[in-house]
Structure 1
Amino acid sequence: MGSIQETTTLHNGIKMPWLGFGVFKVKDGEEVVNSVKAALETGYRSIDTAAIYGNEAGVGQAIAESNVPREELFITTKVWNSNHGYEAALAAFDESMEKLGLDYLDLYLIHWPLPSEGKYVETWQALETLYKEGRVRAIGVSNFKTHHLEDIIAKCDIVPMVNQVEYHPQFNQRELHDFCKKHSIQLEAWSPLMQGGLLENPLLVEIAEKHNKSTAQVIIRWDIQTGVVTIPKSVNPQRIAQNADVFDFELSPEDMDKISTLNQDQRMFADPDEFDRV
């Protein structure tokens, strides 16, 4: 993998960058506009937002004010829990598109399965409609466990193209990753740096020093080498650039094995079977 422009091909043939820029908890307005512009100037072409982040308008503004042609961009947003259900999801999509100021979307995700509502299959059918109408180039899910995916595969027409989940060296989701590979679902990591919680890890520091890289760069590189798309977030232009500087080195099989020993099968965040915030 030679550059930030490198892509994986989703099961419907759409190309998705291995490295994207996440804007979770980035304030709408100047902060998100400046952050997205810094990312685009660095060379990122994939931007990941969500309705609940409250910054779709700022992301859209940054895109509009950049000189990057729309066809070079890969823009993701997500339908929130309060808009589960067929008609509600379609309306939420329209609202997101208006805020983003886009004619089409590259990837639309169901943000959480919200099993307490029992509507994620119906919500998925709305995404299938948007996909069949050509309003979105790819559809997927976020925070779905294997049994949620099995439910969709059994009851719906289209297998999700992406599953975006909590994924980092201490929670490598091996079984879920294997299931996704079997069904050609691209796994994508949110919170790849465990919100900074792994940056002082002695093993990662040691590997980083060996490669003359930062621990963040080692983790991002590990994601990509495990076949996982990753979307680190920062509002610092230097760190945004640093996070992208991961295509000029490779972790050895020994490095990869050592990092795998950090796995604790332990979530930092909510279990999707229990998360029911709307």
Structure 2
Amino acid sequence: MSGYIAICHRWEWIFYGFGIVATIWAILWFIIIKDSPADDNWILKSEKKFILDSLNPVESPGTPWRAILTSLPVYAIGMAHFAYCWGYNTYLTIIPLYLQDVLDYDTDGHYHTMISCISYILITLLLFPSGYLADWLQMNNYLSTTQVRKFFNNISFFLQMALLLMSGYFKDLVAVIACSSLSVGLGALAMSGFLANSLDIAPQYSSIILGISNSFAVLPGVLMPFLSGHIIQTPSDSEYKTMFFIASAVYLFGFFFYAIFASGKVQPWAILHRQPSISLEILESDVKSQNVSRENSKYRK
């Protein structure tokens, strides 16, 4: 879409268009979303009562920062996110340059706009089926939560690594585009791996863990331009192969780190003790019994 906007209009409208959409979304968010189900006016009263009745108060001891920052499963999520985004940034920055410098392909035309959509179409097609399959395997006890996360994450990383390496050895334009696009598209499988994992290990702290994970994820966007600028000088085929080897090595590192240290179990520091839900009738009966006992004690005196 951005390619067509830049060609048919001006490049500034890429930012204007998505900025307008984001602003509309933010306005709707503040209007519709509430802090608590009790404040939500968009749901039925019966649904609201069901939600509120099913909630039990929990103790809030505060955020266990030390436990989070020293947890290997948390770092497994972060390292997997780092590896995923390194490969993704390779697709965004290195592949177009490789097509232009080595394969003499014009990356400024309408055809390139269509090609850049392929990977995102694949992500859309694979994302929902892989999520349903992951849940099905888990609910039917074919695999544990830990096994499901590792399976989807690591099969995604392995295939992405292999396809990215193949992209550097093919000299056929169609083959390179197919391998690189499929490599990014198969990243949808990893969404059922590391990206959902924070909800498994610490549901109430998942937003904090995802924030830490995103901190790892932005590093490839900072490091890759410096690294590619240092390695790609001529530019030549061998220099681009070096970048593909580095990306594959990062995938391999993420593969093994996640396979060894990831977990699908709630961590001990993330277990909150639920307070018993006490109904109003029980409280009233307790108060009455206490009053009766007090009256009896007065008569005895």
Interval containing the TM-score (normalised by the shorter chain): under 0.3
The higher-RCO structure (CA 8 Å, 6+ apart) is 2
Q: TM-score, normalised by structure 2?
A: 0.19
Q: TM-score, normalised by structure 1?
A: 0.20
Q: Per residue, is there more strand in 1 or in 2?
A: 1
